[in-house]
Amino acid sequence: MSDEDIYPESEKIDGEPVRGPDFRGEVDLESLLEDYGTTGFQASHLKEAVDIVKEMREQNSKIFLTFTSNIVSSGLRETVAYLAREDLVDVMVTTSGSHTEDVIKSFTDFSMGEWDADEAELREKGVNRLGNIFVPSEHYIRLEEWLNSNVFPDLFEDGAVTPTTVAEKLGEEVADDPELDGSDSVMRHAYENDIPVFCPALIDAEIGNFMFYYRQEENPDAGIEILEDWDNLIHEALEAEDTGIIAVGDGIPKHQAIMSNLFRGGAEHVVYISTGMEGDGSLSGAKPEEAVSWGKIKEQEDTNYTQVEAEATLVFPLLVAAAFKD
């Protein structure tokens, strides 16, 4: 066997040289992320995501921000609250735990814990574990009392309401309650800037449990109207000249955003931040390319979608700092 068989003659490669950050001089966030573009692997995807989000802003896209509730449970709540406070996104889609945790965090702080804690011991102590974050059960008791006195009576006075109406009411009450610190409340800032917060699975957390109790004990007409919100979310997409989607995490929020854009021929700009595994065939693991096949994301000549395969607490603040902090 000859050398040519082992090492065939190479064609010229036109790509940029692989170069990472150079720490011999001063390093700032802008230069670091610029160097990410030629670092390779997920660093290059993050730089691509920053460029796509900047393009969303330059094109004045209607920006759909989707996120799962663990984002609000973590310190990323402050990042999402910043985007809402500064009116930098137009539509939010999330899961029910975001409502629950956002209000609780307006009462008090969550605490750092441990991944490998003794679960049975935590249960005896009345402590709930979210990864390496601890939340005392008493926080949920206080939440139920607050909802029953401040939110539910007015909210359900005329019967069923939409999830967006629930989010608006939560934001209004957090803003008006002098005993709460709503400075980093996602619901408050979304309410004050008229950013709708869609949540198709609203009952899938403690707030859903408390609605169940309230309906059983106080008002049998209390309920949640889902279809009207779906109609409104579709029209958010239909009425936009250009749309961008930033999906932090997967599941229902991500799919509601891309599905609503199907009705307008797909979204123009899309960024996924995901740890989902494509091999199981689930939507959570599906990459943007799959959504192109369904018509939920437009295929364009210039790169208009990417996925950063990373845990959100590591990369979402970098994306926001680079693409939204002017």
Instruction: Output the domain CATH number for residue 301.
Output: 3.40.910.10
Residue 218 corresponds to which amino acid?
Answer: E
User: For 47-63, how does the pLDDT look when each residue is reduced to its tens digit (9 = 90+)?
Assistant: 999 999 999 999 999 99
At 58-108, the pLDDT tens digits run: 999 999 999 999 999 999 999 999 999 999 999 999 999 999 999 999 999
Residues 259/296, Cβ–Cβ less than 8 Å? yes
Task: State how many domains the chain has.
Answer: 1
pLDDT confidence bin for 10, thresholds 50/70/90: confident
Sheet with 127-130, edge to edge strand ranges? 111-112, 133-136, 127-130
Enumerate residues 6+ apart whose C-beta is below 8 A from 132.
112, 113, 114, 115
3 within a domain of the structure (yes/no): no
| Structure tokens belonging to residue 162 | 């939409």
Sort strands 62-67 and 243-248 into parallel, antiparallel or unpaired: parallel
Task: Give me the residue label for tokens 């939110």.
Answer: 151
pLDDT-based confidence at residue 228 (cuts at 50, 70, 90): very high
Sign of the dihedral defined by the CA atoms of residues 74, 75, 77, 80, in that order? negative
Residue 4 lies in a domain: no
Q: Is residue 15 part of a domain?
A: no
Confidence at residue 283, expressed as pLDDT on a 0 to 100 scale: 76
Q: Which of 47, 296, 298, 325 is catalytic?
A: 296
**Mean pLDDT of the chain, nearest integer:** 94
The answer to whether residue 42 is domain-embedded is no
Nearby residues of 52 by Cβ (< 8 Å), 6 or more positions away: 244, 269, 270, 271, 303, 304, 305, 306
Return the structure tokens found at 130.
């979210």
Q: What sign for the dihedral angle of Cα 54, 77, 163, 209? A: positive
Q: Tokens 């959100």, residue?
A: 312
Residue 262 domain boundaries: 28-35+55-324
Burial class of 243 by CB neighbour count within 10 A (0 to 12, 13 to 18, 19+): buried
Mean pLDDT of 154-180: 98
pTM score: 0.95
Please report whether residue 11 resides in a domain: no
Catalytic-residue membership of 296: yes
User: Is residue 23 domain-resident?
Assistant: no
Does residue 43 belong to any structural domain of this protein? Answer: no
Residue 301 lies in a domain: yes
Look at strands 197-198 and 111-112 and give their pairing. unpaired
Per-residue pLDDT at 14: 83
